[in-house]
Amino acid sequence: MTSPPTPASEPALLEVRDLRVHFPITRGTVIRRTVGNVHAVDGLTLELATAETLGLVGESGCGKTTLGRAIVGLIPPTSGAILFRGQPLGAKRTSSDGAERSHLQMVFQDPTGSLDPRWRVGTSIAEPLRLNHIGTRTERTERVSELLELVGLSPGHASRYPHELSGGQRQRVGLARALALNPAVIVADEAVSALDVSIRAQIINLLQQLQDQLKLSYLFIAHDLAVVRHLSDRVAVMYLGQIVEQAGAADLYTDARHPYTVSLLSAVPVPDPVAEAKRERIVLPGDPPNPASPPPGCRFHTRCWLRTRLGNPERCAVEEPVAQHVSAGHTAACHYVHEVPGQTGLSPVGPAAEPAS
Amino acid sequence: MSADDAAQAATGDSLLRVRDLVVRFDSGRKVVLAVNGVSLDLEAGGALGLVGESGSGKSVTSLAILRLLPRSTARIAGGEVWFGGRNLIQLSDREMRSLRGKEISLVPQDPMSGLNPVITIGEQVVETIRAHEGVRRGEARRRAADLLGTVGIPRPRDQLDRYPHQFSGGMRQRVLIAIALALRPTLLIADEPTTALDVTVQAQVLELLHELTAQHGTAILLISHDLGIMARMTRRITVMYAGYVVESAPTAEIFARPSHPYTAGLLRSIPRVADMGRQLTPIAGAPPEFDRLPRGCPFAPRCAWALDVCWQEMPALIPMEAAEVAGGSPSGDHLLACHNPVAADEVETGKPLRPGFRPAPPPEDELVAQETA
């Protein structure tokens, strides 16, 4: 459980600078030509500090999964840089930056799909060790037992097959495998979304406990805003490949400044019938636009309720907004940040003044 | 008592009254009771939520009401399903077919598998209308376009000849709602209708379901694991665990005063403002395997309130005494199946606050059964 020392001069453990991931759309089978690009991640910048959790929320197709995969090196970025402790990581996983890459690990949504059904759980957990030629067979077996205990299972589980485990136990195995190489950063992509409510709470607690114990940093990607709020120190909201708002968790949920964040928060049903009845709701029209041809200007302007309220200013449709400073650590990319009314009461977990239940 | 009187007595003022429903799955090697004596009541125009985790039997219950269980493996082994004066379990397949879609309809979870991918949207709506009403094609098409308009599909006339894959998930779910409401049913069963959708689209679909059912006086049986959706959409909630109903009460009361340890545990498992920075209180363990249910209450192995009797005997679902309910519940509306209910002050902590109390351990033979399992 030793992590390499961090030079004092470095502020961020992980830094993503102006990252772009474009997927070509091709036509034709013999003569393939590119007819367009899906801008899955389009000029995205973020930072992650040691032992910090950054929540990343957004709807399907906003690029949050692509971002997570690009960070761990599963997808090569089109442009931009990913820096780990100040060192840029190569575009592809190569042996040269293998050591750096091993500090970035991923936990997937579907624990059934991400474990080989024909492998014993112990074999799956030991795989990263084997691939990196770490330890002897006996040492690896010991390490597997240690990892299983770390995630709340018993060493005896190593000899089981995935189908013999429950969904929660399988997700614990996924975590154990991600922890095998002592990573500094874990990208958790919808890691608790497929689990039942009572089991989900167990895994959420486990994630917090491991963070305290191992000083892990999480990039926690999820669509469940209440869970993200619970786990995150900071939250970034993505829309069509870009971050539209970023703030401390408490700040974002009580004082959202981007119209998209406001509508996202207001759309989440609150598990409290009294608060739910009193809540004002902003229902967005339509679906998110196609990321292959994002709207010009502000990408959200086609669905924006604030723009309608302000009488459809032309600026939104032509000029791309830059991130504006709202308060310390709080930015929002909207031309009319200050027109957004105070949002207390729209939070999906209820206003702070009146705790749920 | 004549048959009509019996039906009247059984139905009372409920639109849907399920009594002691038992559903058996028989896979050849093992027999499983997926629904184990479930009782439900839903009044005309009401909104009842069925909450439970995967495997709790909530979807099986709804399929049993519609008599859509797979014939080869599942059998309704007992109980009654009263709907509008008829016991649905005794109806012939033909009678059931004419009732489905017209009087009771279903909005399924997955909008893609609910639609036929090789038939146009218009044809699928027209088919539903024409199967039940002797109207001409043109008339049915006109009504189909109107319906698509009602559920908020832009330019409905142009959309009739398009195929499901040309629609987004939210739009497909709207089409399914249009089909489900085409014949103005008195009961709509919605099984996780928004689980596959994004938050903002989910909000649109919930709003639509709420509006349309209120407008037509359609009762809704909503199945979901999302307690937020339940708070928004239902007037009453029935909580299921391992094929049993463990608690049933008006929505506000379930949230304010959960009395079954499982219900209280579910509410303590979801993050809330008051819990910021604190650990959640999850329910220990995992739901039981159906072929390995303990003898007594199926929740006993995970329950912090368990008594010795809980390992021996499943408690009956009975009205809580008014005195037991904080603030009193004069209607006797709060049903509970528990030997040792959660006290008011224990709801927040999520564990028993009784000096010296320890949950009863499983009896010896139960331990042996678990070891060998």
Residue-wise pLDDT for B177-235, tens only, equals 989 988 889 999 999 888 877 888 888 889 889 988 888 899 999 999 889 899 999 99
DSSP three-state, residue A261: helix
Q: Which of residues 125-184 of B touch A (CB under 8 A)?
A: 168, 170-171
Q: What is the mean pLDDT of residues B126-151?
A: 90
In this prediction the ipTM stands at: 0.80
- H or E stretch including A22? strand A14-27
d(CA A318, CA B359): 65
DSSP three-state, residue A224: coil
Q: What is the mean pLDDT of residues A334-344?
A: 78
Is B206 within 8 Å of B200 (Cβ atoms)?
no
CB–CB of A230 and B347 under 8 A?
A: no
d(CA B323, CA B331): 12
d(CA A267, CA A305): 13
Phi, psi at residue B256, to the nearest 5°?
A: -80, -35
DSSP three-state, residue A309: helix
Q: What is the mean pLDDT of residues B31-41?
A: 91
Would you say residue A344 has pLDDT above 50? no
Would you say residue A4 has pLDDT above 70? no
Chain B contacts of A271, Cβ < 8 Å?
Answer: 227-228, 230-231, 255, 267, 270, 272
Q: Which residues contact A164 (CB under 8 A, 6 or more apart)?
A: none
Q: Least CB-CB distance to A356: which of B171, B272, B282?
A: B272
For chain B, strand residue ranges (E) read 14-26, 31-43, 47-51, 74-83, 86-87, 104-107, 187-191, 219-224, 236-241, 244-250, 318-319, 335-336
Percentage above 90 pLDDT, chain B: 49
Is B282 in CB contact (< 8 Å) with chain A? yes
Q: Is A322 exposed, middle or buried (0-12, 13-18, 19+ CB in 10 A)?
A: exposed
A151-186: pLDDT as tens digits: 999 999 999 999 988 888 999 999 999 999 999 999
Is B256 in CB contact (< 8 Å) with chain A? yes
pTM over 0.90: no
d(CA B191, CA B168): 19
Q: Which residues contact A185 (CB under 8 A, 6 or more apart)?
A: A13, A14, A48, A71, A84, A103, A104, A105, A216, A217, A218, A219
Average pLDDT of chain A?
86
CA distances from A110 to A106, A193, A194, B341, B343 (A): 12, 9, 7, 36, 37
The pLDDT, as a whole number, for residue A350 is 39
CA distances from B94 to B67, B82, B98, B164, B169 (A): 12, 17, 6, 29, 33
A104-162: pLDDT as tens digits: 999 988 777 889 999 999 999 999 999 988 999 999 999 999 999 999 999 999 999 99
User: Which is nearest to A312 in space by CA: A336, A291, A332?
Assistant: A336
The pLDDT, as a whole number, for residue B368 is 54
Q: Is A352 exposed, middle or buried (0-12, 13-18, 19+ CB in 10 A)?
A: middle
DSSP three-state, residue B27: coil
Chain A contacts of B275, Cβ < 8 Å?
Answer: 230
Q: Please, how many CA atoms are within 13 Å of residue A123, restricted to the half-sphere of its CB?
A: 10
Q: Which of residues 101-120 of B touch A (CB under 8 A)?
A: none
B246-280 per-residue burial string, b: 16 or more CB within 10 A, e: under 16: bbbbbbbbbbbbbbbbbbbbbbbbbbbbebeeeeb
Q: Looking at chain B, which residue has its C-alpha nearest residue A164?
A: B289
A240-298: pLDDT as tens digits: 999 999 999 989 988 899 999 999 988 888 888 888 888 888 888 877 888 888 899 99
Chain B contacts of A170, Cβ < 8 Å?
Answer: none
Distance of CA B328 to the CA centre of its chain: 27
Q: Please, how many CA atoms are within 13 Å of residue A228, restricted to the half-sphere of its CB?
A: 28
Can you give the length of chain B in residues? 373
Confidence of residue A52 (pLDDT cuts 50, 70, 90): very high
Q: Locate tokens 């999964």: which residue?
A: A65
Q: Which residues contact B51 (CB under 8 A, 6 or more apart)?
A: B58, B224, B225, B227, B230, B237, B238, B239, B240, B266
Would you say residue A334 has pLDDT above 90? yes
Is B164 within 8 Å of B174 (Cβ atoms)?
no
Q: Please, how many CA atoms are within 13 Å of residue B328, restricted to the half-sphere of its CB?
A: 1
CB–CB of B226 and A269 under 8 A?
A: yes
Angle among Cα A108, A41, B200 to the nearest 5 degrees reads: 75
Is B227 in CB contact (< 8 Å) with chain A? yes
d(CA B373, CA B369): 6
What sign does the dihedral B74-B78-B83-B85 (CA atoms) show?
Answer: positive
- H or E stretch including A20? strand A14-27
Chain A contacts of B53, Cβ < 8 Å?
Answer: 196-199
Is B266 in CB contact (< 8 Å) with chain A? yes
The pLDDT, as a whole number, for residue A187 is 96
CB–CB of B347 and A357 under 8 A?
A: yes
Average pLDDT of chain B?
86
CB–CB of A198 and B53 under 8 A?
A: yes
B326-373: pLDDT as tens digits: 555 455 789 999 999 999 889 888 788 888 888 988 887 665 555 444
CB–CB of A202 and B267 under 8 A?
A: no
- H or E stretch including A199? helix A197-214
What is the CB neighbour count within 10 angstroms for residue A112? Answer: 15
